[in-house]
């Protein structure tokens, strides 16, 4: 996302917007591989547990680009898809965890199982929201998992992990994963609201029409970015609305400019 602006203030605004939408999971889209594993998802043995094993590169059944296919083992054995680096976090910040999965197999299922950690790499705080009790159900469609959580007091790192399980006492099932993402919503600028009365709704968005209103309802320019920083919409608000028909389901950053003032908001489209 490289744009040239005349005013230094505009340059600073662009930098803030880019930081606000940064995916903290490098190569979460699984586009880069070394040998049998994606970059930053190397197979490793810690104690008796193997992480990121039974993984293959998938180029056909994908949400976008490449995907990961992970095989389940025998009943009682868990497979771990884990980002290779512990991600630094700030207690009190809101984080959006997002990824896609497909569970179209009666021999396997999946769930999110990440962990907040302290400086000593010990689990800290309430893990309930990021260690799910419910497993996935079979579907021939990709499912977009999105949740926003707050890093608890004492948390300085996040272990980003999803798990694949065998089902019905059988092994050899497969779960597909794609586009893992972690975004810090606490980064300055994401929810700064210098436009009085700014509202975007509905959010989450379930159809194509996004409503944008302010106290003045003056002329507004709108730019929307996806989570890798690509500009996907650049338009004006017409009759209080913006058409998002070209947006697929996912998480976006909406930048609104009105009378020289700019604010950014997070948008989820389902």
> Could you give phi then psi for residue 15, rounded to 5 degrees?
-60, -40
Percent of the chain with pLDDT over 90: 59
Mean pLDDT on 109-133: 96
**What pLDDT was estimated at residue 115?**
98
Residues 139 and 55 in one domain: yes
The per-residue pLDDT for range 214-226, each reduced to its tens digit, is 888 999 999 998 8
DSSP per-residue letters across 161-188: EEEEEEBTTB---EEEEEEEEEEETTST
Of the CA atoms within 13 Å of residue 18, those in its CB half-sphere come to 10
Q: What is the CATH classification number for the domain harbouring 167?
A: 2.60.120.260
Are both 254 and 125 inside the same structural domain? no
Mean pLDDT of 134-140: 95
- Tokens 């999946």 belong to residue: 110
What pLDDT digit, counting tens, does each position of 140-177 carry?
A: 999 999 888 888 889 999 999 999 999 887 889 999 99
Backbone phi, then psi, for 226, in 5-degree steps?
Answer: -85, -175
Calculate mean pLDDT across residues 108-127.
96
Within 126-255, where are the H helices? none
Domain holding 162, by residue range, is 33-184
Taking Cα atoms as reference points, which of 92, 91, 89 lies closest to residue 182?
A: 89
How far lies 29's CA from each of 3, 177, 212, 232, in Å?
A: 24, 9, 31, 18
pLDDT, greater one: 75 or 198: 198
Do 62 and 120 belong together in one domain? yes
* pLDDT surpasses 80 at 100: yes
Q: Do 46 and 169 sit in the same domain of this protein? A: yes
Q: Which of 154, 194, 182, 179 is nearest to 248 (CA)?
A: 179
- Give the whole-number percent of the chain exceeding pLDDT 70: 88
CATH assignment of the domain containing 244: 2.60.40.3080
Residue 168 lies in a domain: yes
Strands (E), 59-105: 67-71, 78-82, 87-88, 94-102
pLDDT reported for residue 75: 52
- Cβ distance 33 to 57 under 8 Å? yes
- Give the residue from 136, 138, 161, 165 showing the smallest Cα distance to 73: 165
- 121-136 average pLDDT score: 95
pLDDT for residue 103 is more than 50: yes
Question: What pLDDT band is residue 102 in, cutting at 50, 70 and 90?
Answer: very high
Q: Is residue 131 part of a domain?
A: yes
On whether residue 201 sits in a domain, the answer given is yes
- Shared domain check, 165 and 42: yes
pLDDT grade for 193, boundaries at 50, 70 and 90: low
Q: Are 170 and 238 found together in one domain?
A: no
Total structural domains within the chain:
2
More confident residue, 261 or 243: 243
Residue pair 232/223 in contact by the 8 Å Cβ criterion: no
pLDDT of res. 228: 67
Q: Which two tokens stand for residue 29?
A: 């889209």
User: Is there a single domain that holds both residue 43 and residue 173?
Assistant: yes
So what's the pLDDT on residue 10?
A: 37
Residue 3 domain-assigned (yes or no): no
Q: For 194-213, what is each residue's pLDDT tens digit? A: 788 888 999 899 999 999 99
The pLDDT of residue 137 is 94
- Measured between alpha carbons, how far is 176 from 62 in angstroms, rounded to an integer? 8
First to last CA, the chain: 25
pLDDT at 89: 93
- Do residues 225 and 180 both lie within one domain? no
Residue 179 in any domain: the answer is yes
In the listed set 184, 207, 226, which residue is the last one of a domain according to the structure?
184
Positive/negative CA dihedral, 166, 172, 173, 177 = positive
Q: Which of 134, 164, 184 is the last residue before a domain boundary?
A: 184
Distances (CA, A) of 132 to 148, 185, 268: 14, 22, 21
Pair (152, 139) in one structural domain: yes
Q: Please indicate, yes or no, if residue 26 is contained in any of the structural domains.
A: no
Instruction: Copy the structure tokens of residue 61.
Output: 């059944």
The reply to whether 40 and 169 lie within a common domain is yes
The last residue of a domain, from among 151, 184, 217? 184
């Amino acid at each position: 996302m490289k744009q040239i602006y005349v005013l230094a203030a505009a340059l600073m605004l662009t930098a803030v917007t880019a930081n606000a939408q940064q995916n903290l999971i490098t190569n979460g889209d699984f586009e880069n591989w070394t040998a049998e594993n994606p970059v930053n998802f190397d197979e490793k043995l810690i104690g008796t547990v193997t992480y990121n094993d039974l993984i293959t590169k998938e180029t056909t059944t994908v949400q976008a680009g490449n995907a990961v296919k992970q095989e389940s083992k025998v009943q009682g054995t868990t497979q771990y898809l884990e980002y290779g680096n512990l991600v630094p976090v700030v207690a009190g910040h809101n984080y959006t965890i997002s990824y896609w999965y497909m569970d179209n197999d009666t021999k396997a299922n999946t769930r999110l199982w990440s962990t907040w950690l302290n400086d000593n790499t010990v689990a800290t705080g309430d893990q309930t929201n990021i260690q799910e009790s419910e497993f996935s159900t079979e579907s021939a469609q990709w499912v977009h998992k999105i949740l926003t959580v707050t890093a608890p007091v004492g948390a300085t790192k996040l272990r980003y992990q999803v798990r694949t399980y065998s089902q019905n006492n059988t092994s050899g099932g497969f779960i597909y994963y794609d586009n893992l993402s972690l975004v810090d919503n606490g980064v300055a600028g994401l929810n700064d609201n210098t436009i009085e009365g700014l509202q975007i709704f509905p959010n989450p968005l379930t159809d194509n029409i996004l409503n944008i209103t302010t106290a003045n309802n003056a002329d507004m320019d709108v730019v929307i970015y996806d989570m890798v920083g690509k500009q996907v919409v650049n338009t004006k608000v017409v009759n209080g609305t913006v058409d998002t028909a070209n947006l697929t389901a996912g998480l976006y950053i909406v930048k609104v400019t009105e009378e020289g003032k700019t604010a950014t908001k997070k948008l989820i489209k389902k």
